[in-house]
Amino acid sequence: MPELPEVETVRRGLEPAMVGARFTKVVQRRPDLRFPFPERFVERLEGQEVRALGRRAKYLLADLSSGEVLVMHLGMSGRFLVTQEDASRMPGEFHHEHGGLDAHDHVTFHLSNGASVTYNDARRFGFMDLVPRSGIETCRHFAQMGIEPLGNELSGQIIADLFAGRRTPLKAALLDQRLIAGLGNIYVCEALFRTGLHPEAPAGSLATGAGKPTDKAHRLAEVIREVLSEAVTAGGSTLRDHAQVDGSLGYFQHSFRVYDRAGEPCVTPECSGTVARLVQSGRSTFYCPACQKPTRAR
């Protein structure tokens, strides 16, 4: 499943193909993905210019000249393929994996700059929606959504404010999309490891009795941005070598320090610990019991 850095990588890959261009033709090949497409989807897109392509958590947001926003979510297996009309300009670089149309190519956007952007999704957990820009914050996708982890908003103080008094394990609190939006299992494991925090420590242990952030809270805020930025950078370098704007690209060049390394020696210099796995809320957590000691609730 694409995580936030992969979605950001996709956004950066789509930006040059879409922003400043108009939808000249939109081909919608089925009535639904995970949810039905919005009413008159094609009509509402054709003729509109894409003014900007943004991201909120794991959603892509294309601002249209009509005042609507095309909201796109990749689900589990969604990806975009960008092709250029003038394929001779970059021989061999832009080609479809399977030659012609794939059975999972559900939507194609033809753009006024000659680019075509096709949305392919084998499992169809992705979706698209059209929402007025003026109501975006309160629409069903974003109304309950927490703060953006890759922005400047995230700080030790914010973490203390969000987590104070909570007995939920840190891992669960960090995955709670209503608190911080877009953090997934992999990057939460990595961030806790780099901060030296036990995944089962109570979330409230990052705030003092007076509600101030602990040193670890400050460090965690930094580390979250760090792991996400590193992954975006890795995704970007992969993207340059691929025409497919693939949600999975960001993973390729990435080696994780604890994620999926159960039984392997801890990578921390001079730590003799072994990476362990535990299951929290049905999902695997990887951590080093030597580096990430349990802390007590305050």
CA dihedral in degrees (207, 212, 218, 219; nearest 10)? -40
The span of 15-23, 87-95, 124-132, 272-280 binding Zn ion (CB under 5 A) equals: 272-280
Regarding 191 and contact with Zn ion (CB under 5 A), the answer is no
Asked about 97 being catalytic, the answer comes back as no
Q: Least CB distance from residue 271 to Zn ion, whole Å?
A: 3
Regarding 273 and contact with Zn ion (CB under 5 A), the answer is yes
Regarding 293 and contact with Zn ion (CB under 5 A), the answer is no
Asked about 36 being catalytic, the answer comes back as no
Regarding 290 and contact with Zn ion (CB under 5 A), the answer is yes
Q: Least CB distance from residue 261 to Zn ion, whole Å?
A: 11
Beta bridge partners of 27: 108
Q: Least CB distance from residue 288 to Zn ion, whole Å?
A: 3
Asked about 283 being catalytic, the answer comes back as yes
Catalytic annotation, pick one of 12, 44, 277, 283: 283
Q: Least CB distance from residue 227 to Zn ion, whole Å?
A: 17
Catalytic annotation, pick one of 3, 8, 68, 200: 3
Q: Least CB distance from residue 189 to Zn ion, whole Å?
A: 13
Catalytic annotation, pick one of 11, 58, 219, 261: 58
Which lies closer to Zn ion via its Cβ, residue 236 or residue 273? Answer: 273
CB neighbour burial string for 276-286, b if at least 16 within 10 angstroms, e if fewer:
beeebeeeebb
User: Of the candidates 182, 180, 187, 174, which has an alpha carbon nearest to the alpha carbon of residue 254?
Assistant: 187
Q: Least CB distance from residue 268 to Zn ion, whole Å?
A: 4
Asked about 30 being catalytic, the answer comes back as no
Which lies closer to Zn ion via its Cβ, residue 43 or residue 270? Answer: 270
Residue nearest to Zn ion (CB): 266
Regarding 289 and contact with Zn ion (CB under 5 A), the answer is no
Catalytic annotation, pick one of 2, 149, 169, 213: 2
Contact letters (x/-) for Zn ion, 242-271, by CB under 5 A?
------------------------x-x--x
Residues that bind Zn ion (CB under 5 A): 266, 268, 271, 273, 288, 290-291
Residues with a catalytic annotation lie at: 2-3, 58, 283
